[in-house]
Structures are given as C-alpha cells and as structure tokens.
Structure 1
Amino acid sequence: MNRYLARRLVESIITLFLATVVVFLGIRALPGDPARVLAGEESDPQAIAEVRASYGLDQPLPVQYVRYLGKAFTGDLGTSVRTGLPVTEIIAGALPVTLELAFLAMLVAILIGLSTGVIAAVRRRGPLEWASNSVALLGLSIPNFWFGQMGILLFAVLLGVLPASGFVPFLDDPVENLRRMIMPAVVLGSAIAAVIMRQTRSAMLESLTADFVRTARAKGLPRHQVILGHALRNSLIVVTTVVGLQLGILISGAVVTESIFVLPGFGRLTLDAVFTRDYPLMQGVVLITATAYIVLNLLVDLLYSVIDPRIRVGGAAL
C-alpha cells in the first residue's frame, strides 16, 4: 500500500509540473502582446517597454518560467490587471462559492443517480427501469440554461418559495445560503445524476451476473445484503471514476449555471478573466483548475484501493 501511494504521489507531482509548463506556454501563446494589454492599448512604446521590464516579459522564456514557478510555489500568482488585487486573493474569494455549489450538486447527483441506477438494474425490464431510463435521458437532454430559467420561473416567480439569484455566505446566514443554492445545485446535479445512473446500472447488471453474487445467493444471504454488500460495492469502482471526473469539471467552473443564478464563483471569474484579457488571473485560474484535477484523480485512485482490495494488493506488490 505504501509503495502504491508513493508511486501515485510521484506521478501526481510530475503531472503537476507538466501542467505548469502547459499553463505557462499556453497563456503566452495567446494572440496579442501581454505588455500592451497591461499598459493599455493607447500607451506609448516607452510605457509598454517599462511594463514589459517590470513584469519580466523582456526575459527569455526559460527565465520567465523559473521565475513564475518560484512565485507559484510561494503562493504568489501575480496581480490582476483589471482590479489590481492579488490573484490568490481573488481566487480565494470565488473558489469557496464553487466548492459549495460543486459539493451540493454532487450530493444531489449521487443520491438520485446511485439509487435510480441500482433500482433500474435490480428491477430490470420492469416499469421502474423504464422510468429511471426516461429520467436519465431527460437529465442528459435538457440544457442547464433552460432548466435553470424554468426553475427560476416556477419557484421564484410563480411560487415565490426560493430566491431567483444571488449569493449569501454560509457563515452569515446558513438558511438563506441553502435557499439560494438549492436551485443551482439541482440544475447542475441533474445532468451528472443521469450519467451516474447509467454507469451504475451498467456496472450493477454486470455484477449481478457474476460468480461471487451467485455464490452469495447460494449461501442464503438476504437479498439486500447481496445487492448492497456484494454487487453494489463491486460496481463502485466505475461510479467513483465518474464522480471524480465530474467533480473536477464542477470545480473548474460551472460557467452557465453560475451566470444564470448570479453566483460569484470560479466559472464567472474564468469568464471575466477571458473577456478582459486579464493574463495573470487567467494563468492563476487555469493552474488552480489543473491542480484540482490532479488532486481529485489522486484521491480517486486511493479510493480504488479502499473499495477493491485487489488494487491495494496489486499496487503494493509492484
């Protein structure tokens, strides 16, 4: 187990290093002169040259990269061109909003997707399977922007039971915070629930026909123990993979959902950085996103070894 964990940590560190290279070169490959953007389009050549020197843009790329990497490891991601604030401070203000939205949306997705997937596999060729498949198809087909607008129209405008938009920090007012996050979480989690449902159903159907399930039934184990303790646990590898990947997408920013419900999260921050050509903020956002993906993939791999002992034993034997 320790050898498996050490190998995954080394792989994650190498991947993170390569991600910093891609982020650094990718931002500088964008069209336009960053120094001109930082100084302003109407600035004279002398002002542009001063900005280029102050930001180190006149140095060779390897020198710029080493400087960028050193600052990034100390938590210095630069200063936003648009606001003049440190990039780390801006990201720290927006990231908790997206993390809460991602957690609630994933909670909704797991509760709906996992339960309906198990039911569809156990009640195969029955009304419950058809109903689950229909709901999953709707979840995959309905766009978030339409679903969100219909939710606002129904629950905020017609019924008046939930606010239409805005954000209140959880520590300031927990009840109001949850009232404002329910609709975005359901809208964002519905499509993910459909994916989890389909993957859970497929994995459960395969597990229910496996030899170890037939053996468990032959031993006379209760039906719920066979389904939940044997078939579902063996199917969680696939579900964990889907959840890890989808959670990474959520953390990287749900641009459409956050825009509809006016949430000051990571998605809107990314969109604003692109539109205003705020290069330091764009660089910081992409780096944080890549880091989140790498960390989540590492956690998913570690969960594999907890769910399936064969992975733990195989990793330790390497």
Structure 2
Amino acid sequence: MTRYLLRRLGQSGVTLVLVSIVVFVGVRAMPGDTARALAGEETTPEALAAIRAEYGLDDNIAVQYARYVQHALTGDLGTSARTGLPVLDAILDALPVTLELALFSLLFAVVLGIGAGVVAAVRRGKPAEWAASTVALLGLSVPNFWLGIVLILGFAIALPLFPASGFVPFGTDPAENLRRMVLPAVVLGTGLAAVVMRQTRAAMLESLSADYVRTARAKGLSPWQVTGGHALRNSLITVVTVLGLQLGQLISGAVVTEQIFVLPGFGKLMIDAVFTRDYAMVQGVVLFTATAYILVNLTVDLLYSLIDPRIRLGGAR
C-alpha cells in the first residue's frame, strides 16, 4: 500500500510539472504583448521597458519558468494584472463557490444516475429502462448553456421558484444559498448523471448475470439484498472510475454554468482573466484546477480497495 501510494504520488508530481510547463508556455504563446496587456493600450516605450524589467519578461523563457516555479512552491502565484491583488487570494475567494457547485452537482448526478441505472438494469426490456435510457440520451445531448437558459425561463421567470442568478454565501443565509445553487447544480449535474446512469446500467447487467448473484438468489436472499448488497456493490468500481474521469468535464462545464448564473467561481474568474489577458490569473487557475484533478484521481484509485477488498493496490496478490 505504501509503495503504491509513493509511486502514484511520484506520477502525480511528474504530471503536475508537465501541466505547469504546458500552461506556462501556452499562456506566453497567446496573441498580444504581455507587457502591453499589463500597462494598457496607451503607454510609452519607457513604461513598457520598465514593466518587462520588473516582471522579468526579457529573460529567457526557461529562466522565467524556473522563477515561476520557485515562487509557486512558496504559494506566490503572481499578481493579477486586472485587480492588482495576489492570484492566490482571488483563487481562494472563488474556490468555495466552485466547490459547492461541484459538490451539489456530483450529489445530484450520483443519486439520479445510480438510481436510474439500477432501475434500468433490474427492469431490463420494460418501460422503466426505455424511459431511463431516453432521459440519459437527452442529458448527454443537451448543451449546458441551453439547459441553463430553459431552467431560468421556466423556474425563475415563469414560475419564480428559484433566483435566476447571483450568489449568497452559505454562512450569510443558508436557505438562500441553497435556493440559488439548485438550478446551477441541476444544469451541471445532468450530463454527468446521464454518464453515470449508462455506466451503472452496463455494470449492473454484467453483475446480475454473474454466478455469485445466482448463488445469492438460490440462498433465498430478498431481491433488495441481491441487488444492493451484491450486484450494486460490485458495480461501484466502474461508477467511481467514471466519476473520477468526469471531473474534468465537471470543471469545464462549470465555466459555462457559472457565467450563466453569475456565480463568482473559477469559471467567471477564468473568463475574466482570458478577456483581460490576465496571464498570471490564467496560469494560477489552470494550475490549481490540474492539481485538484490529479488529487481526485489519486483518491479514486485508493477507494478501489475500500469498495472491493479483493483488489490489492500496487499489483500485490
């Protein structure tokens, strides 16, 4: 277990280094002059030269990257050119919003997706399976921005049950916070729920036809015990893997969803940074997001042994 964990941490570290290199080089390959973006369109050559000297833009790109890594390891991700505030402070301010949205979206996707997948597998060939498959297909096909607009028109304007936009911190007003997070969570979680449903159904169909399930039925166990205690538990490995892999889609979908519902999370932070060429902010958000993605996938790998004790991490038997 320890050897496997160390090996996975080493792989995660290498991945993070490669991501930081790609982001650092990619940001500098964007059209436009970084110094001019920091100084504004109307400035003097002397001011541009001073900015390049201050930020080390005249140095070799390898020197710039080494300096960036050195500062990042101490928690210094640079200063936002748009606000003049530290990038890390802006990320930490937006992080609770995106985490809350991701948590509610994930909860919605797990409850709806696993439930519909189990029903579709147990009721195979019946109207319940057709209905679940149809809803899953719609969930995969409908874009987030269109679904968000439809939900706003239906449940914020026609039937004013939920606010159309804005964010209220949970600590300020818990009830209002939950009301404002319902529609964004549904929008972001719908596509993930469809993926979870289809994977759960496929895994459940395979488990229900296995020998151990037939043995459990022969022992006289109830249908709920057979389905939940045996078939579903052995199908969760597939579901957990899908959830870990879909985190990237969840984060990318949050960019659009947060823009639609005007949530001050990572999505709005990233869009504003790109539009204003705030390179330090773009680097910080992408690096922070990549780190979270790597940690989640590491956690998913470690959860395998808890779900199925037969699995021995690191290849041990």
- Does the CA-based 8 Å contact 2:36-2:48 persist in structure 1? yes
Partner of 2:235: 235
Structure 1 position 271, deviation (Å): 0.9
Aligned pairs for 1:17-96 within 5 A: 17-96=17-96
Q: 1:194 to 1:65 in 2, by over 3 A?
A: same
Deviations 1:181-233 (A, max 9, x none): 11111111111111110110011111111222223223333322221122111
Structure 1 position 149, deviation (Å): 1.7
Identify the range of structure 1 (268-277 vs 37-46) with the bigger mean alpha-carbon deviation.
37-46
Q: Give every structure 1 segment of 4 or more consecutive aligned residues whose post-TM-superposition deviation is greater than 3 Å.
A: none
Hey, what's the Cα distance between the residues in 2 that align with 1:32 and 1:156? 41
* Secondary structure, counterpart of 2:75 in structure 1: coil
Partner of 1:225: 225
- Does the CA-based 8 Å contact 1:35-1:48 persist in structure 2? yes
Q: Which amino acid aligns with 2:70?
A: G
Partner of 1:244: 244
1:298 equivalent to 2:267? Answer no
Unaligned runs of 5+ in 1: none
Partner of 1:317: 316
* Secondary structure, counterpart of 2:310 in structure 1: helix
Identify the range of structure 1 (265-274 vs 150-159) with the bigger mean alpha-carbon deviation.
150-159
Partner of 2:190: 190
Partner of 1:15: 15
- Does the CA-based 8 Å contact 2:305-2:313 persist in structure 1? no
Hey, what's the Cα distance between the residues in 2 that align with 1:316 and 1:125? 39
Structure 1 position 314, deviation (Å): 4.7
Hey, what's the Cα distance between the residues in 2 that align with 1:56 and 1:281? 17
Partner of 1:99: 99
Q: TM-score, normalised by structure 2?
A: 0.95
Q: Which amino acid aligns with 2:206?
A: E
Deviations 1:67-92 (A, max 9, x none): 10011111111111111111111111
Deviations 1:295-317 (A, max 9, x none): 11111111122212233x25262
Hey, what's the Cα distance between the residues in 2 that align with 1:314 and 1:212? 23
- Does the CA-based 8 Å contact 1:248-1:292 persist in structure 2? no
Hey, what's the Cα distance between the residues in 1 that align with 2:5 and 2:89? 32
Partner of 1:120: 120
* Secondary structure, counterpart of 2:220 in structure 1: coil
- Does the CA-based 8 Å contact 2:192-2:250 persist in structure 1? no
Structure 1 position 253, deviation (Å): 5.7
Count of equivalent residues? 317
Partner of 1:204: 204
Q: Which amino acid aligns with 1:15?
A: T
Partner of 2:3: 3
Identify the range of structure 1 (187-196 vs 32-41) with the bigger mean alpha-carbon deviation.
32-41
* Secondary structure, counterpart of 1:108 in structure 2: helix
- Does the CA-based 8 Å contact 1:251-1:292 persist in structure 2? no
Deviations 1:25-62 (A, max 9, x none): 22122222212221223322221111111101122222
Unaligned runs of 5+ in 2: none
Hey, what's the Cα distance between the residues in 2 that align with 1:156 and 1:39? 42
Aligned pairs for 1:267-278 within 5 A: 267-278=267-278
Hey, what's the Cα distance between the residues in 2 that align with 1:206 and 1:212? 11
Hey, what's the Cα distance between the residues in 2 that align with 1:104 and 1:262? 17
Hey, what's the Cα distance between the residues in 2 that align with 1:17 and 1:309? 33
